[in-house]
Amino acid sequence: MKNIAVIGAGTMGNGIAHTFAQSGFKVQLIDINEASLKKGMDTIAKNLDRMVAKEKISEAQKQETLGNITTHTKMHEGVKTVELVVEAATENIDLKLKIFKDLDAVCAENTILATNTSSISITQIAAVTNRPSQVIGMHFMNPVPIMKLVEIIRGYNTSNEVTETIMTLSKTLGKIPTEVNDYPGFVANRILMPMINESIETLYNGVAGVTEIDTVMKLGMAHPMGPLQLADFIGLDVCLSILHVMHDGFKNPKYAPCPLLVNMVRAGKLGVKSGEGFYDYSESRKAEKVSKQFLK
């Protein structure tokens, strides 16, 4: 397997494309938005420049990596000859189902279809295709080129052969694949999101401020990043979407998102990507700014 396609040039998509390309794979990076493709490629180039500056790779390796990536705005053009597609579009069930239905129609019969979803059922996604045995979850962690873990999620019908292929493939990328079962949130987000949500509840209830909550978790629990800062980094809209999936899937009130999180997403305060979340990223990433109106 040497030819792969990545659907989506956002944070996760360009990170996945970068990782495969740096490992010698020919990558077709696909996004319907030309500006998103340019931004994604610019991000990959900047990240490679940092690696060159730190002497982790050579300038020649950087150019080879970039040369391994071809961009497309039309999906059918980019997936014709690939052996694996990794979907990394927005965490929206309707969008993902449409993408997989379309991929099933245009991909070669033996192509494996993987999704980077962080919470949505692999079995549900596979059900819209005529190849459910070849559909699997590859949940990479952000930032993809650095983080070692890949959650490998097999759907109800995913074959042993496909699972072993993807486990082995992940190892060739220098990752540590870990197989988990297909339940809402899988393992990473089933544990992480309730912690983030409880941290937001703690802020909402006035127990402590943003920096205080994050400091307790960093210094007291040895977390490299506080939960509120991590939520900003993930994207508050993504956190909310995952909590909705878990709440709907388990019907358990403990997964219900905090009203503060809901209001912040409604107001467009999504974290790093919008310039403001629990922290203000518009001018200084260290400046704390949480609007009191959300606490009402």
Catalytic residue selected from 68, 116, 118, 170: 118
Q: Give the 3-state secondary structure of residue 30.
A: strand
Which residue out of 18, 139, 244, 247 is catalytically annotated?
139
Given 116, 189, 197, 199, which residue is catalytic? 189
SS3 51: helix
Active-site pick, 151, 170, 197, 274:
151
Measure the CA–CA gap between 162 and 134, rounded to whole angstroms.
6
CA distance 1 to 257: 41
Place of tokens 């007291």: 220
Catalytic residue flag (residue 189): yes
Pairing of strands 279-280, 287-288: antiparallel
Residue 126, both tokens: 């596979």
Place of tokens 């979407």: 241
> Which two three-digit tokens encode residue 117?
């979803």
Active site residue 151: yes
* Catalytic (active site) residue 139: yes
Helix axes 236-250, 188-204, angle to 10 degrees: 110
Rounded to whole angstroms, how far apart are CA atoms 66 and 18? 8
DSSP 216: I
Q: Is 118 a catalytic residue?
A: yes
Nearest in space to 114 (alpha carbons), one of 95, 90, 87: 87
Axis-axis angle for helices 236-250, 259-266 (nearest 10): 130
CA atoms within 13 A on the CB side of 27: 30
- What are the DSSP calls for 107-151, one per residue? S-TT-EEEE--SSS-HHHHHTTSS-GGGEEEEEEPSSTTT--EEE
Q: Report the 10 Å Cβ neighbour count for 261.
A: 24
What residues are annotated to the active site?
118, 139, 151, 189
